[in-house]
Structure 1
């Protein structure tokens, strides 16, 4: 491959919204499209499904909570393309309401994936983004509901226009620790773990967009957070009004 070939990459793309995004990028994007998934077999099966439709995505394994996996992807992008043009951070998890896993463990695992995993991908891949590149981090409209359910003190912190990445990570650590100690409600948190993690994704996006503007303003890189609302996926269930497409 040549560094002149444009490339778009989607995380968590073997099913659901990520899969639909890869399909549309294959149809509309002028360049290569990389479908990533934690599970190699499922990722390759998704690629074969799109190939049967006449599309040509590439596949690369990516587990966003495994730093070695992220760095292997970085090495691939440097070698094959000299960087990255479009990054869609879609990968996330959510426990179902009936899941018997202890609340504190759900909180730790969901935060580790949805916030820390997305943060690690951004930390490693954003330096590879080429001028006029695009980054989309998938958040959730549930984060707005959760924000309203948090205490006024927490709301003030989350709404701060000057919150730093270090402060945001500190709030994440406090939430996980408060759930372990059984005091998260007393400390002003909401019970909706998924929404709490997505507040952080939105804020992380604002922080990184600000940094990109300060450090690489001339490169005209655009970073946004996207809230797709209720979509029919394995995570959200079959009753949702929106299709992944």
Structure 2
């Protein structure tokens, strides 16, 4: 029987590192800690080895297509497939509450568009029964969006990836053309780029689940809570190990019938389509 394989992106520190640690303790298989920087990735692996855990390291920059392809080729040749994929790599540049076009594009390229590249190369390697967890946030709930046209689009039960891209591109064009409207978002549009990228990520989770439903692959999104990491800029409520608990639950313990859901950090399922709910992000600044 083939060894089970788990992969965590953006895992050299913070939440990703905590997920790798938890998987090394509980997952019956090989765990790959991936990072875009080799030095920091190897340092993270050595830190875990110093406490008796045995993750493997592989270089992976989710923003570079060749890097994703090379990693996929490696997994295919060495293992033939994978069983767990945690899409954790992400950024948030806190200094610009209303970002420039370049900053907005960086956020969306990393937090959303990279998942399209990962889907292209890594999803064909998912074995039957595999589990995928996309790391979203409170910014990924649909209640962050107030633009009625976008809401109508994103609420479609047969939503397609191309339509998510349309939503993302319209936002970016508004920043580029200086027609950005704060009223299109909750909380006066603060860090709208992050709301767009994470909402797009959560929407993509639903789309991907429909695509892979017949192969008994579970794809879910999770808001891990306000985590004490570098991205939180000194804020945060949960330490990374606490936040990782919900992700590990989805991987190791949740029913395989849990598919295409949005799970809150307390392991409660929330209705992603509840646009009037009090779920939108309020703790980015």
- TM-score for the superposition, normalised by structure 1: 0.91
Tell me how far apart the structure 1 counterparts of residues 175 and 183 of structure 2 sit (CA, whole Å): 10
TM alignment of 1:53-72, pairs within 5 A: 53-72=51-70
| Partner in structure 1 of residue 151 of structure 2 | 155
DSSP 3-state at the match of 2:92: coil
Tell me how far apart the structure 1 counterparts of residues 137 and 4 of structure 2 sit (CA, whole Å): 28
In structure 2, which of residues 134, 137, 140 is the aligned counterpart of residue 137 of structure 1?
A: 134
Count residues in correspondence.
237
How far does residue 72 in structure 1 lie from its aligned partner after superposition?
0.4
- Kindly indicate whether the alpha-carbon contact (under 8 Å) linking 2:98 and 2:190 is maintained by their aligned counterparts in 1: no
DSSP 3-state at the match of 1:235: helix
Tell me how far apart the structure 2 counterparts of residues 143 and 5 of structure 1 sit (CA, whole Å): 34
Tell me how far apart the structure 2 counterparts of residues 57 and 165 of structure 1 sit (CA, whole Å): 33
| Partner in structure 2 of residue 211 of structure 1 | 211
CA deviation vs aligned residue, 1:30-56 (integer Å, no higher than 9, x gap) = 010000000110000000000001000
Q: Does 1:202 align with 2:198?
A: no
TM alignment of 1:58-97, pairs within 5 A: 58-96=56-94
DSSP 3-state at the match of 1:13: coil
Tell me how far apart the structure 2 counterparts of residues 30 and 100 of structure 1 sit (CA, whole Å): 43
Gaps of 5+ in 1: none
The CA RMSD over aligned residues, in Å, is: 1.8
| Partner in structure 2 of residue 117 of structure 1 | 114
Tell me how far apart the structure 2 counterparts of residues 130 and 148 of structure 1 sit (CA, whole Å): 34
How far does residue 169 in structure 1 lie from its aligned partner after superposition?
1.1
- Change over 3 Å in CA distance of 1:149–1:5 after alignment to 2: closer
In structure 1, which of residues 44, 47, 52 is the aligned counterpart of residue 45 of structure 2?
A: 47
DSSP 3-state at the match of 1:142: helix
How far does residue 171 in structure 1 lie from its aligned partner after superposition?
1.5
| Partner in structure 2 of residue 165 of structure 1 | 161
Greater alpha carbon shift after TM alignment, 150-159 vs 103-112: 150-159
| Partner in structure 1 of residue 180 of structure 2 | 184
How far does residue 149 in structure 1 lie from its aligned partner after superposition?
4.5
DSSP 3-state at the match of 2:102: helix
How far does residue 74 in structure 1 lie from its aligned partner after superposition?
0.5
Tell me how far apart the structure 1 counterparts of residues 182 and 57 of structure 2 sit (CA, whole Å): 45
| Partner in structure 1 of residue 272 of structure 2 | none
In structure 2, which of residues 229, 238, 242 is the aligned counterpart of residue 233 of structure 1?
A: 229
| Partner in structure 1 of residue 283 of structure 2 | none
DSSP 3-state at the match of 2:169: helix
Tell me how far apart the structure 2 counterparts of residues 100 and 198 of structure 1 sit (CA, whole Å): 16
Tell me how far apart the structure 1 counterparts of residues 145 and 203 of structure 2 sit (CA, whole Å): 17
Stretches (4+) displaced over 4 A? 99-102
| Partner in structure 1 of residue 123 of structure 2 | 126
How far does residue 100 in structure 1 lie from its aligned partner after superposition?
9.4
- Kindly indicate whether the alpha-carbon contact (under 8 Å) linking 2:24 and 2:53 is maintained by their aligned counterparts in 1: yes
